[in-house]
Structure 1
């Protein structure tokens, strides 16, 4: 869902087709500044970029002619909507249904455009009916807008999907799925480095083994996996860094600072990690360090003369 930053601007991440009709959507950070009359997007959150970085694109709100649900025009792009401005269509992909509705409403309100709700509701109803209809080809798991989404497919759809270059589940994630280790939560976040305190966007996967993060959602091996055994506490950040939606993953060796895309995402990550860690602790109780197992205490023997052993320099002498 889009959220308001400290300056009252509506912002959040979306996938945008920068080159019209290219079919290639790139992750970008949108800023809707109603006071300035501008809609602009950046390569990343401006807080993560050098001061004075110019936006990739800037749209004057007074030039926007229409904002509409574009899933009919782009049937293979989920949660797709479009902005018509300056005789060009800007196609954008939201993270989910609520995210799409939030952006459409925000842009409409800022540009004084009204769009009948019936069209959006009608398409939404059709999507819900399709989800309820069993699909003989099963479902395809994909990474869409930073989330794992199951899409009904027919058996003959695999070749066409590969041609369109859609993201797939990584081999390591697929192996975990085969073993029944389904991810609890996945998505993109921004993480602070350990040595160099810079901020980089990473793809996070939380499962019942730990919290892993990758360079992208197509990588096969994680940069790092934080074991659930090492996670002590997860909470929202209360320090002095001027960053929104920041939370801490406190472990035995290090505190990880992670920035979510929105306040709702931050709360969702905190809850998901906390619940998974608590569940893990209940299923696998950890023995306190330094304690001796009962089995070892019972089998531990002392030799009869162990308490009467003489010092080395007295051995062999007669008393």
Structure 2
């Protein structure tokens, strides 16, 4: 699924991070380590996450440069919810991000980190939904009734 999300964001390219137009290597809105459950093989791997301009990227290490290639990306506009998931996973500091297609699970290093990620991603979801709503403004006054 992450690969299909990647293709939807970057137009089919899986190796050209600049195609998305996001300079993820500088001034992120939020960045840090999270443990992420794998997409196909449900193992847990520690990844460096970067949230910027409505996209959540992840990398194998924390040294992110212009030449870095993300391991995956989640377009925040496709997210329906972000919420705690300790009860679902039976693990401390767990949270989930849900899209129409899937639910992805993450584990932060502390309760504070979990809450900060949930808040940052939540704010980004709201910002992205506002951007989409603004782009879809319809002038109902100019339509004729038939």
Q: What is the TM-score when the length of structure 1 is the normalising length?
A: 0.33
Equivalent residue, structure 1, for 2:34: 189
Q: Indicate the structure (1 or 2) with the bigger Cα radius of gyration.
A: 1
1:280 aligns with 2:125: no
SS of structure 1 residue aligned to 2:70:
coil
Once the two structures are superposed, what CA deviation does each residue of 1:234-262 show, in whole Å capped at 9, x if it has no partner?
00015342311000011121111000000
Once the two structures are superposed, what CA deviation does each residue of 1:136-188 show, in whole Å capped at 9, x if it has no partner?
xxxxxxxxxxxxxxxxxxxxxxxxxxxxxxxxxxx96xx7179xx84110000
Once the two structures are superposed, what CA deviation does each residue of 1:11-55 show, in whole Å capped at 9, x if it has no partner?
xxxxxxxxxxxxxxxxxxxxxxxxxxxxxxxxxxxxxxxxxxxxx
SS of structure 2 residue aligned to 1:176:
coil
Unaligned stretches of 5+ residues in structure 2 = 1-16
1:176 aligns with 2:23: yes
- Flag the 1:218–1:284 CA change in 2: closer, same or farther, 3 A: same
Distance 1:213 1:253 in 2: 19
From 96, 102, 124, the counterpart of 1:254 = 102
Q: What is the TM-score when the length of structure 2 is the normalising length?
A: 0.70
Distance 2:37 2:88 in 1: 14
Equivalent residue, structure 2, for 1:11: none
SS of structure 1 residue aligned to 2:83:
strand
Superposed counterparts of 1:80-229, under 5 Å:
176=23, 182-218=27-63, 220-229=68-77
Equivalent residue, structure 1, for 2:6: none
SS of structure 2 residue aligned to 1:284:
helix
Higher relative contact order (CA 8 A, sep 6+): 2
Unaligned stretches of 5+ residues in structure 1 = 1-170, 288-293, 299-319
Indicate the RMSD between aligned Cα atoms, in angstroms: 2.7
